A and B are shown apart, each in its own frame.
Chain A
Amino acid sequence: MTADKSPRKDEAGRPDENFEPYELHGKMPWPLMAIAVGLGIWGAATLFDTREDVAAARNERVAESRVATAASTEPGSALFVARCSTCHQPDGMGVRGAIPPLAGSAFVAQGPELVSTILLRGIDGPIRVGNYNFNGHMPSFASVLTDAEIGELSTYVAHRFGKSSETIEAAAVAKLRGEVVDKASFKGGTEIASSTALELGSQPPFVAQTAVSLSPDVSTMIFTGRGEQWACASCHGDLGQGKENVPRLAGLPAEYIVKQIDDFHSGRRQNESMKIVVASLTQEEKRQLGEYYAGLRVPSNAKPELGGDLARGEALALHGDWSRNVPACFSCHGPSGFGVAPEFPALAAQHASYTASQLAAWVGGHRNNSSLDLMGRISRALSDADRRAVADYLASLPPVPAGEDAQIARIGERP
Chain B
Amino acid sequence: MTEPVQSPEAKPADPQKGRIARMWIHAAGAGLIVAALGALAYESGFIPSRQTAQDTAGHATAGFFQPPTDDQIPNDQFGAAVRRGQAIFMNTSTNASLYVGNGLSCSNCHLGAGRQPFSAPMWAAWVQYPKYRSKNKQINTMEDRVQGCFTFSMNAQHSVKGGPPPHGDDIYRDLESYFFWLATNAPTNKELEGVGFGKVAKTELGYSPERGAQVFAANCAVCHGGDGQGQKDINGRYVFPPLWGASSYNWGAGMARIDTAAAFIKHNMPLSQPGRLTDQDAWDVAAYINSFERPKDARQKGKTIEETRKQYHDGDQIYYGQTVNGVLLGVGTPDPERPVGAVD
Q: Which residues of A contact B (CB under 8 A)?
A: 29-35, 37-39, 41-42, 44-45, 48-49, 62-64, 66-67, 70-71, 87, 89-91, 93-99, 101, 128, 131-137, 322-327, 331-332, 334-335, 338-340, 343-344, 371-372, 374, 377-378, 400-401
Contact = CB atoms under 8 A, between A and B. Distances in A.
Interface in B64-97: 69-71, 75, 83-84, 87, 91, 93-95, 97
A23 to B, nearest CB: 18
Contacts of B341: 96-97
Contact of B112 (A32, A87, A95, A322): A322
A212 to B, nearest CB: 17
Contact of B36 (A41, A71, A374): A41
28 contacts: A29-B22, A30-B26, A30-B29, A34-B30, A39-B32, A45-B36, A45-B40, A63-B70, A63-B71, A87-B235, A90-B87, A98-B232, A98-B233, A98-B236, A135-B235, A322-B61, A322-B116, A323-B61, A324-B60, A327-B271, A331-B239, A332-B223, A332-B239, A335-B239, A338-B235, A372-B222, A372-B273, A377-B273
B233 to A, nearest CB: 4
Contact of A340 (B40, B84, B93, B240): B240
Contacts, number: 168
A63 to B, nearest CB: 4
Given A335-B237, A400-B234, A41 B272 contact: no
B333 to A, nearest CB: 18
A34 B29 contact: yes
Contact of B222 (A97, A135, A371): A371
Interface of B: 22, 25-26, 28-30, 32-33, 35-37, 39-40, 43-44, 58-62, 69-71, 75, 83-84, 87, 91, 93-95, 97, 100, 112, 115-116, 219, 222-223, 231-240, 270-274, 276, 341, 343-344
A90 B84 CA distance: 10
B234 A135 contact: yes
Contact of B237 (A34, A45, A95, A401): A95
A89 B94 contact: yes
B272 A374 contact: yes
Contact of A323 (B60, B231, B236): B60
A85 to B, nearest CB: 11
A322 B28 contact: no
Contacts of B116: 322
Name the residue in A29, A38, A134, A374 with the highest tally of chain B Cβ atoms < 10 Å from its Cβ: A38
